[in-house]
Chains A and B, each alone.
Chain A
Amino acid sequence: MRELAYYEAKFEALDEIMAADQRVHLINGTFLSLSPHRQVFHNLQKKYGDRMMMPPISELGFCGLATGAAMAGLRPIVDLSTGSFIYEAWPQVANEAANAYSMSGGQTRVPVVFHLFHGLRGGGAAQHSGSPQAMLWNCPGLEIAIPSSPRDVKGLLKTAVASDNPTIFVDHTKLLDLRGEVPENDKPIPFGVADIKRAGSDVTLIATSYTVQVCLRAAEKLAKEKINVEVVDPRTLVPFDLAAILSSIEKTRRVVIADETHQSCGVAAEIAARIAETGFDKLKTRIRRVSTMDVPVSYSPPLEEYIGPSESRIIDAIRASVA
Chain B
Amino acid sequence: MLPKLPRDGLLELCRRMFLIRHFEESLVPLHDKGVFGGHYHLYIGQEATGVPAISCLKPDDYLFTTHRNHGHLLARGAEPKRLLAEILGRVDGLNKGKGGSFHSVAPSLGFLHSSGVVAGIIPLSTGTAYASKALKNGRVTVCLFGDGSLEEGAAPEAFNLASLNKLPVLFLCENNGKYGAGRAVAAGQSSSMAAYPLTDLPKAYKIPAQQIDGIDAGLVHATVSEAVEKIRGGDGPQFIEAQTVRWPGSETNWPSVPHPTDSSLAWDVSAVAEKAREWYHSCDPLLVFVRELVEAKQATKDEIAAIERQVKTEIAAAVEFAVASPYPKPEEAERNFFA
* B98 lies within 8 A of chain A by Cβ: yes
B160 is an interface residue with CB less than 8 A from chain A = yes
On whether the beta carbons of B126 and A65 are closer than 8 Å, the reply is yes
Write out the residue numbers on chain A whose beta carbons fall within 8 Å of the beta carbon of B13.
none
B258 within 8 A of A: no
User: What is the CA–CA distance of A62 and B164 in the complex, to the nearest angstrom?
Assistant: 12
How far in angstroms is the closest Cβ of chain B from A4? 30
Q: Is B97 an interface residue (CB 8 A)?
A: yes
Closest Cβ–Cβ distance, residue A163 to chain B (whole Å): 8
**Closest chain B CB from A321 CB (angstroms):** 35
**B12 contacts the other chain (Cβ, under 8 Å)?**
no
B154 sits at the interface (CB 8 A): yes
Once the chains bind, are A108 and B338 in contact (CB under 8 Å)? Answer: no
- Tell me which residues across on chain B come within 8 A of A127, comparing CB atoms: none
Say yes or no for B326: interface residue by CB 8 A criterion. no
Closest to B105 in A: A104
A156 at the B interface (CB under 8 A): no
Neighbouring B residues of A25 by C-beta, 8 Å? 130, 134
Per-residue CB proximity of A52-73 to B under 8 Å, as 1/0? 0101101011111111111111
Q: Is residue B157 within 8 Å, beta carbon to beta carbon, of the partner chain?
A: yes
Interface residue range, chain B: 35 or more
Partner of B117, one of A56, A72, A91: A91
- Interface 9-mer from A93-101, A115-123, A204-212: A93-101
B154, A60: Cβ atoms closer than 8 Å: yes
Tell me whether B135 and A55 are in contact (CB under 8 A): no
Check A108 against B112 for contact (C-beta < 8 Å).
yes
Residue of A25, A53, A68 with most chain B CB atoms under a 10 A cut-off: A68
Cβ of B131 within 8 Å of any chain A Cβ, yes or no, is yes
Asked if residues A140 and B105 are in contact (CB atoms below 8 Å), the reply is no
A233-262 interface (Cβ within 8 A of B): none
Interface centre among A91, A105, A141 (most CB of B within 10 A): A105
CB distance from B327 to the nearest CB of A (A): 13
Q: How many residues of A contact B (CB 8 A)?
A: 45
Please determine whether B123 and A65 come into contact, CB atoms closer than 8 angstroms. Answer: yes
Tell me which residues across on chain B come within 8 A of A55, comparing CB atoms. Answer: 161, 164
Partner of A164, one of B153, B164, B339: B339
Measured between alpha carbons, how far is A64 from B160 in the docked complex, in Å? 13
> Does the CB pair B117–A71 fall under 8 Å?
no
A217 in contact (CB, < 8 A)? no
Q: From B62, B99, B129, give the contact of A105 (CB < 8 A).
A: B99
User: Which residue, A102, A104, A111, has most C-beta atoms of chain B within 10 A?
Assistant: A104
Does the CB pair A68–B107 fall under 8 Å? no
A105-B94 contact, Cβ under 8 Å, with A25-B134, A68-B126, A72-B132: yes
Q: Is B113's CB under 8 angstroms from A69's CB?
A: no
Indicate if the CB atoms of A67 and B124 lie closer than 8 Å. yes
Contact (A72, B95) CB under 8 Å given A58-B157, A62-B161, A104-B105: no
A51 contact set on B, CB distance < 8 A: 134
CB of A143 within 8 A of CB of B95, answer no
**Which one of B115, B131, B154, B338 lies within 8 Å of A72 (CB-CB)?**
B131
Whether A71 contacts B339 by the Cβ 8 Å rule is no
Q: Which residue of B lies closest to A95 (CB)?
A: B117
Which residue of the partner chain, among A91, A108, A141, contacts B113 with CB atoms under 8 Å?
A108
Q: In whole angstroms, how far apart are the Cα atoms of A323 and B153 in the complex?
A: 56
B115: chain A residues at CB < 8 Å are 95-96
User: Which chain A positions have C-beta within 8 A of B98?
Assistant: 102-105
B217 part of interface (Cβ distance < 8 Å): no
B336 lies within 8 A of A73 (CB): no
Say yes or no: B130 contacts A61, CB within 8 Å. no
- Interface membership of chain A positions 140-167, coded 1 if the CB is closer than 8 angstroms to chain B and 0 otherwise: 1101000000000000000000011100
Closest chain A residue to B97, Cβ basis: A105
| Min C-beta distance of B249 to chain A, whole Å | 27
Q: Known interface pairs A69-B130, A69-B131. Does A91 touch B120 (Cβ–Cβ under 8 Å)?
A: yes
Q: Return the contact of A64 from the options B124, B164, B336, B337 (Cβ within 8 A).
A: B124
Q: Determine if B142 is an interface residue (Cβ-Cβ < 8 Å).
A: no
Decide if A104 touches B99 in the complex (CB within 8 Å): yes
CA separation between A22 and B17, bound complex, in Å?
A: 42
CB–CB A96/B134 < 8 A: no
- List residues of chain B with CB within 8 A of the CB of A105: 93-99, 105, 336
- Closest chain-B Cβ to A140's Cβ sits at a distance in Å of 6
> Can you give 21 contacting A-B residue pairs, CB < 8 Å?
A25-B134, A58-B157, A60-B123, A61-B123, A61-B157, A62-B161, A64-B154, A68-B126, A68-B131, A69-B130, A71-B131, A72-B139, A74-B127, A91-B120, A96-B117, A96-B124, A101-B337, A105-B99, A107-B107, A108-B112, A164-B339
The 10 A-B residue pairs with the shortest CB-CB distance, nearest first, are A68-B127, A64-B123, A61-B157, A68-B124, A105-B96, A164-B339, A72-B128, A72-B131, A69-B127, A102-B337
- Contacts beyond the supplied A64-B158, A103-B98, A107-B95: 16 A-B pairs with Cβ under 8 Å: A61-B126, A61-B154, A62-B123, A63-B123, A65-B123, A65-B127, A66-B127, A68-B124, A72-B128, A73-B131, A74-B135, A95-B120, A103-B113, A104-B98, A104-B113, A105-B99
